[in-house]
Structure 1
Amino acid sequence: MFSFTCIRFLVILYISMSIGATVGLGSSSEQQSIYEVLHAHGLPMGLLPKGVKEFNVDVDGQFWVHLDQACNAKFESELHYDRNVSGNLSFGRIGELSGIEAQDLFLWFPVKAIRVDIPSSGLIYFDVGVVRKQFSLSLFETPPDCVVVGSEKAADFRDGSLMAEAVSKSQLGRLRYKLDQGNFTKDVLLNEQ
């Protein structure tokens, strides 16, 4: 029969091993790279740009990736990566994605999910909320070079604040013009009497 001390030792050993297993996929050098993790989940390694050093994936598939700086990568269209990208990783799919935006017709749309057909048709789908864009899977075979976003103005333009400011100034100018024209007409009518 097992003694109480022996059972306690086995419980502590089991808990220690369980904790070690849940730490699993961190970013230390003896661990897999984020690119290998993507590949193991049936996703192309080129979904994230080159140079990712800090990341974490937990046992439930929740992950985060930290980039040194926000950057843009060019595929068929352009993708923007924030400094922090996160989501839920499962086989052939990333859901609840944040930190990646896709450009289409000069507008930026947040990518909410990415899915690969299984069995593979050679296509990958980006869910940007409004539509689902499909691309050739071959575009994402290797991690792309990512060009650092130059300034805060680029981020302001992407989130629409510069555009909103320009529209606001334009509307104010039209209103001022209409008021000036109304006063001019009133002055002319008063002077003619």
Structure 2
Amino acid sequence: MSLLTHLLLTVFLVFIAASPPSTSAADSPTVYEALQSYGFPVGLLPAGVTKYKVDTATGKFSVYLNKTCSFTIHGYDLKYKTTITGTISANKIKNLSGIQVKVLLFWVNIIEVTKEGDQLELSVGIASADFPVDNFYESPQCGCGFDCRGKRSGELSFKRFVPLFQV
């Protein structure tokens, strides 16, 4: 083996050894695990998210669903668009876009979610509502919420929404 070949082989092996290991999608946390890493329960998002992106430096994120997603839970009609965006940090999601709740006759955007202790506050701007975190331990299903298997809503870990959005 010539000196040049030996030198090139050594440089190549050093380069390979110094390269960071590649990460596959299987190595990345799911969107639900990512939510939990910021202190939020998985039930803020419906089951079936196809992909997501989060910039860990800024907290800006995008979550993608194959189609719009709607369901009713305890009298609250919720609608998720195919793309949900916002900025996430520990216990706070702001500039939220893509999730709506029907209040009276109007669809309004949920623009902020804050977690304080065992309570989540969902804000639509001029109004907000507090809910126990344990209401969100499970992700609802598009189209049927928690009533997908003929069970009544609330028989699963999603207990109940009691407070109304208050001004």
The verdict on a shared fold, with TM-score over 0.5 as the criterion, is yes
Alignment of 1:139-150 (within 5 A): 139-147=135-143
d(CA) in 1 for partners of 2:83 and 2:32? 16
- Is 1:58–2:71 an aligned residue pair? no
1:69 is matched with: 67
Scaled by the length of structure 1, what TM-score is found?
0.59
Q: Percent identity?
A: 29
Q: 1:80 to 1:70 in 2, by over 3 A?
A: same
Could you state the TM-score of these two structures normalised by the residue count of structure 2? 0.68
- Corresponding residue for residue 31 of structure 1: 28
CA RMSD of aligned residues (A): 2.6
The structure with the largest helix share of the pair is: 1
Answer 1 or 2: which has greater strand percent: 2
Deviating above 4 A after TM superposition, structure 1's stretches of 4 or more consecutive aligned residues are none
Contact 1:114 1:124 in 2 (8 A): yes
* Structure 1 residues 137 and 74: CA distance shift in structure 2, 3 A: farther
Q: Return the letter of the residue paired with 1:74.
A: T
Inter-partner Cα distance in structure 2 for 1:30 and 1:109: 36
SS in structure 1 of the partner of residue 46 of structure 2: coil
1:1-193 alignment to 2 at 5 Å? 28-59=25-56, 60-76=58-74, 77-117=76-116, 120=117, 122-147=118-143
Larger Rg computed on CA atoms: 1
| DSSP 3-state at the match of 2:130 | strand
Secondary structure at the residue paired with 2:32? helix
Q: How far apart, CA to CA, are the structure 2 residues paired with 1:36 and 1:145?
A: 18
Aligned length: 127
Q: Tell me by how many angstroms 1:125 deviates.
A: 0.7
> Per chain length, whose mean CA-contact separation is higher, i.e. which structure has more relative contact order (CA < 8 Å, sep 6+)?
2
Write the distance in 2 (CA, Å) between the matches of 1:78 and 1:31: 32
CA distance in 1, matches of 2:114, 2:96: 11
Rounded to whole Å, the distance in 2 between the matches of 1:124 and 1:75 is 16
- Unaligned runs of 5+ residues in structure 1 are 1-12, 149-193
